[in-house]
Amino acid sequence: MASLYAFLYTLVLVCIAAVASAQLSSTFYDTSCPHALSTIKYAVRAAVAKERRMGASLLRLHFHDCFVNGCDGSVLLDDTATFTGEKTAAPNNNSLRGFDVIDTIKSQVESVCKQVVSCADILAVAARDSVVALGGPSWTVQLGRRDATTASFDSANSDIPKPTSDLSTLLTDFSNKGLSTTDMIALSGGHTIGQARCTSFRDRIYNETNIASSLATSLQANCPSSGGDDNLSPLDASTPSTFDNYYYKNLVNKKGLLHSDQQLYNGGSADSQVTTYSTNMAQFYSDFAAAMVNMGNISPLTGSSGEIRTNCRKTN
């Protein structure tokens, strides 16, 4: 009798553990939509073949989704007369892009399986496929997120890290989302691809001293001290559309574009990890892949929470 109770007790604990840790699963769509992942992959490949930068833009969409009330597709909701979403919040306005590509992917996925695959999962898979398309590492994406019926303009303003922040604030921003120092430094390597607007780095190239003067001078040509706010420069000037470890090589040479980038190599506690990644791309790849899985696990809606949107721009 005692052993029966012990057995039942163990069974209950195992079930609780399974529910707590296995909300998402890599096989979530294997029977409900077996062609979901290949559909997304081909669409991402096509979009990146058309414009390399799109891979960067899609990666960033998943990050900005996950940091605002979890990875729930909230970033994709359009504003309406009665609803203000996240698209015009300061980190996103005139900056986030790739929404049309997500619409295309969503309609292709809907045509193979109606109302099965969430917009939040499409963002997570598209981020991975974008990194792969630009030559970076691959990882297994956990799936089963559902889509929010709400969004938060205020949380987008407060929770998405700012390019003007110092190292301690960046670490706090990530730790508030359950992400470690290692995750923060590895995920920042997302800036090995893509572009930033003059307004995001003007202060750094005119007023900071921990920047290589050759970089500051060349950036100033396309980013005047006033005006030209939307002029673009690559986050990684060496290899702007290849997912490699040049972001970290640049930091070691004081060639980070954003104030927040150079904070990772400025005599502080992040320096040694940056140095490691600058010479060991395999280590960066494996830490980045692990950190992307961790970021993708931020507060997903699962079970019967939320919904599966039919159009990523609006609730059903």
Ligand X SMILES: *[C@@H]1O[C@H](CO)[C@@H](O)[C@H](O)[C@H]1NC(C)=O
For residue 97, count other CB atoms closer than 10 A to its CB. 18
Q: What CA dihedral angle connects 211, 213, 217 and 219, to 10 degrees?
A: -30
217 binds, among ligand HEM, ligand X, none (CB under 5 to 8 A by kind): none
157/302 with CB nearer ligand X: 157
The least distance separating ligand HEM from the CB of residue 188, rounded to whole angstroms, comes to: 5
Three-state DSSP at 97 gives: coil
The least distance separating ligand HEM from the CB of residue 9, rounded to whole angstroms, comes to: 42
Note the helical H segments in the chain: 2-21, 36-50, 53-66, 99-112, 119-133, 153-159, 167-175, 181-187, 198-207, 213-220, 246-252, 259-262, 271-279, 281-296
The least distance separating ligand HEM from the CB of residue 313, rounded to whole angstroms, comes to: 19
Residue 172 CA neighbour count, 13 Å, CB half: 8
Structural Rg of the chain based on CA atoms: 21
Binding mask 211-250 for ligand HEM (x = CB under 6 A): ------------------------x---------------
Choice from 144, 194, 296, 306 touching ligand HEM (CB under 6 A): 194
25 binds, among ligand HEM, ligand X, none (CB under 5 to 8 A by kind): none
Cβ contacts of 293 within 8 Å, gap of 6 or more: 139, 140, 141, 142
Q: Is 262 in the site for ligand HEM (CB under 6 A)?
A: no
Give me the residues that bind ligand X (CB under 6 A), please: 88, 93-94, 202-203, 206-207, 225
By the criterion CB under 6 A, which residues form the site for ligand HEM?
53, 56-57, 59-60, 63, 95, 97, 161-163, 170, 187-188, 190-191, 193-197, 200, 235, 258, 260
